[in-house]
Chain A
Amino acid sequence: MEKLTSLEKLQERRNAVMAERPEEKPRIIVSAGTCGQARGSLEVYEAFREAIVERKLEETVDLKVTGCHGYCEAEPNALVLPQGVFYANLKPKNVADIVEETIVNNKVAEKYVVTDKVTKESFSYASELPFYRRQQRNLLTLNTLIEPTEIDDYLALDGYAALAKVLGSMSQQDVIEEIKRSGLRGRGGGGFPTGRKWEFCFKEQSDRKYVVCNADEGDPGAYMDRSLLEGNPHIVIEGMLIGAYAVGAQEGYIYVRDEYPIAVRHLRIALEQARELGLLGDSILGSDFSFDVHMSRGAGAFVCGEETALLHSIESKRGMPRQRPPFPAQKGLWDKPTNINNVETWANVPLIVNKGADWFAAQGTEKSKGSKIFALVGKIRNTGLVEVPMGITLRELVYEVGGGIPDDKQFKAVQTGGPSGGCIPEHLLDLPVDFDALNEAGSIMGSGGMVVMDEATCMVDVAKYFLEFLEGESCGKCTPCRMGTPLMLQIVERICDGHGSPGDLDALENLAKTIKNCSLCGLGQTSSNPVLSTLRYFRDEYEAHVHDKVCPACLCPSLIRYEIDQETCISCDRCRKACPVSAITGELKQHNYYIHNHLCIRCGACEEQCPVSAISRLPGHEPPVQEKAGAAVTAAGGERKDG
Chain B
Amino acid sequence: MDLTRVDEIIDEHTKNGERSYPPVIPIMQDIQAEYRWLPEPALVHTAKRLHVPLVDLYGIATFYQSFRLTPPGEHQINLCMGTACHVAGAPLILGKLERKLGIKAGEVTEDGKFGLDEVRCVGCCALAPVMVIDTDYHSLQGKTDVGKIIDEKRKSDEKVSS
Q: Which residues of A contact B (CB under 8 A)?
A: 33-35, 38-39, 72-73, 75, 218-223, 226, 258-260, 296-297, 299-302, 313, 315-319, 334, 375, 377-379, 383-384, 415, 418, 449, 451, 453, 457, 462, 465, 469, 475, 580, 601, 603-605, 608-609
Measured in the bound complex, the distance between the Cα atoms of B119 and A33 in whole Å is 19
Query: Which residues of A are found within 8 Å of B20, using beta-carbon distances?
Result: 334
Q: List 19 A-B contacts (CB under 8 A).
A: A35-B123, A38-B127, A73-B126, A220-B120, A221-B125, A223-B123, A226-B123, A297-B25, A299-B65, A301-B63, A313-B25, A316-B21, A319-B63, A377-B128, A384-B126, A451-B83, A465-B83, A465-B86, A603-B99
Chain A proximity of B15: nearest CB distance (Å): 14
Given contacts A465-B83, A603-B92, contact A316 B126 (CB under 8 A): no
Query: Which residues of B are found within 8 Å of A378, using beta-carbon distances?
Result: 83-84, 87-88, 125, 128
Please determine whether A299 and B83 come into contact, CB atoms closer than 8 angstroms.
no
Contact partner of A316 (CB less than 8 A), chosen from B23, B86, B92, B95, is B23
Q: Which of B39-71 contact A (CB under 8 A)?
A: 59-60, 63-67
Chain B proximity of A497: nearest CB distance (Å): 14
Measured in the bound complex, the distance between the Cα atoms of B89 and A603 in whole Å is 11
Please determine whether B25 and A299 come into contact, CB atoms closer than 8 angstroms.
yes
- For A73, give the chain B residue with the smallest CB separation: B126
Measured in the bound complex, the distance between the Cα atoms of B13 and A297 in whole Å is 14
Query: Is B96 an interface position by the 8 A CB rule?
Result: yes
Query: Which residues of A are found within 8 Å of B81, using beta-carbon distances?
Result: 220
Chain A proximity of B26: nearest CB distance (Å): 7
Query: Is B3 an interface position by the 8 A CB rule?
Result: no
Query: Which residues of A are found within 8 Å of B87, using beta-carbon distances?
Result: 378-379, 451, 453, 457, 462
Q: What would 16 more interface pairs be, CB under 8 Å, given A222-B121, A296-B26, A457-B87?
A: A35-B123, A72-B124, A220-B82, A220-B121, A221-B85, A258-B66, A259-B66, A299-B28, A299-B65, A316-B23, A377-B126, A378-B84, A449-B83, A475-B63, A604-B92, A609-B143
Measured in the bound complex, the distance between the Cα atoms of B29 and A33 in whole Å is 24
Please determine whether A300 and B126 come into contact, CB atoms closer than 8 angstroms.
no
Please determine whether B126 and A75 come into contact, CB atoms closer than 8 angstroms.
yes
Please determine whether B83 and A220 come into contact, CB atoms closer than 8 angstroms.
yes
Query: Is B24 an interface position by the 8 A CB rule?
Result: yes
What total of chain B residues lie within 8 Å of the partner, measured CB to CB? 43
Please determine whether B83 and A35 come into contact, CB atoms closer than 8 angstroms.
no
Please determine whether B21 and A580 come into contact, CB atoms closer than 8 angstroms.
no
Query: Is B73 an interface position by the 8 A CB rule?
Result: no
Please determine whether A334 and B19 come into contact, CB atoms closer than 8 angstroms.
yes
| Most chain A beta-carbon contacts within 10 A, residue among B67, B87, B121 | B87
Chain A proximity of B111: nearest CB distance (Å): 21
Given contacts A38-B127, A318-B60, A375-B125, contact A301 B83 (CB under 8 A): no
Chain B proximity of A41: nearest CB distance (Å): 11
Query: Is B122 an interface position by the 8 A CB rule?
Result: yes
Measured in the bound complex, the distance between the Cα atoms of B19 and A334 in whole Å is 9
Measured in the bound complex, the distance between the Cα atoms of B26 and A316 in whole Å is 8
Measured in the bound complex, the distance between the Cα atoms of B126 and A537 in whole Å is 27
Query: Which residues of A are found within 8 Å of B126, using beta-carbon distances?
Result: 35, 72-73, 75, 377, 383-384
Chain A proximity of B86: nearest CB distance (Å): 5
Measured in the bound complex, the distance between the Cα atoms of B19 and A315 in whole Å is 9
